[in-house]
Structure formats: structure tokens, C-alpha cells
Amino acid sequence: MSSNFDKDLAVARAKYARRNRDALEKAMELLPDVLAACPDNFSLEYPTKELIRKAAGWRLPWEEFYDDHWSGNTKRFGCVILHEDKMCGIALGRLMSDSVYIELIEGSCDTSHPFKGYVLDTVELVALIYAQRNEVRQIRLIDPVEGALTHYLNRGYQIASGPPRYCWKEVW
């Protein structure tokens, strides 16, 4: 690859990472006003390898997805939900031409975390802001787990047959 290509790729990755971080910061400002159950001392973080390692033992293959798919994607989207030093939820995905794809989303296996029942709401707020910053109108939850479909439908998502199968929602 040429050095110009490498430079252009680095510039593009930095641009989309900055937009993701901006969306995380804006969501942190808004979340206490839109989520009545929002705890104090929370943060929304851009995923790093170190944070993803903390999800070892969770149901979904976080490290494998991070290494094999997410970290090399130029237009990646991610959100790690923390309360004090406790990880409450993670979402990883990417920006596509017409939507923000959320390819993995999961709340902590520890059901006592303060974002229990609000991981989707929190990630959706970040994804909405990211979608607006990138001028796309849709959020897609890719290959949703069977147990979550009713929850997604109750939150206004529709099911598409795929492949891959996904739930989608127009956001603006």
C-alpha cells in the first residue's frame, strides 16, 4: 500500500473515532435528563482493548470480535458503559452508508449493575448522536438474540429478514 493511502486511512479513522467520542461525551451530558434511573459516577467510554478484556466471561465473544472485526474497521462505533469501576454494558458496531450497525450489544452478567434494563437505551442514545453526526437515519441491531427481540420491538424496532437478520429503527 502506498504511504498516501495509509495517511488517508489514518485520517479517516481519526475522524470517525472523534465523532464517536463526541457522541459519547454528548450522551453523558444528556443521559441524566433522559434516563430517570441514571446513576451518579457513570461514564461512557470509547472501547479499548483493556476495557474489552474486562468482559472476559461474558456471553458474547468480545475479545474475538474486537480483534478480528472491530479494531480494523475505519468507521467503527462503540460504547462501554461504566459505573465507578464496574463495567455495565458494551456495544460494538460500525457506520454503514445508511445506518449505524450495532453488531454486538450486551449488559453485564452481574444483574446488580445500575444500568440493568437500560443498556439498550444508553447505547441507543450514543448511536443516535453518532448517526446525526454522520448524517445517517437508521440504527440497526445486527443478528439480535432471540430473547431480546420482544424488547427491541417494544422499543420501536422492526424486524428485517436479512441476511443477516436485523432489527432497524429510523431515528430522524
Could you give the maximum distance between any two Cα atoms of the chain, in Å? 51
- Nearest CA among 54, 73, 52 for reference residue 64: 52
Q: Taking the model in full, what pTM does it have?
A: 0.93
- Nearest CA among 110, 154, 117 for reference residue 38: 117
| The pLDDT value given to residue 137 | 96
What's the rounded mean pLDDT across residues 69-91? 94
Whole-number average pLDDT of the chain: 93
pLDDT exceeding 70 applies to what percent of the chain?
98
Going from the C-alpha of 121 to that of each of 14, 31, 105, the distances in angstroms are: 26, 9, 11
| The pLDDT value given to residue 164 | 82
Instruction: Write the pLDDT tens digit of every residue in 100-129.
Output: 999 999 999 998 999 999 999 999 999 999
How many CA atoms within 13 Å lie on the side-chain side of 165? 7
* Strand ranges in the chain using DSSP code E only, listed in sequence order: 42-45, 76-83, 86-95, 99-107, 138-142, 158-160, 166-170
DSSP-assigned letter for residue 18: H
Confidence of residue 145 (pLDDT cuts 50, 70, 90): confident
**Is residue 163 scored above 90 in pLDDT?**
no
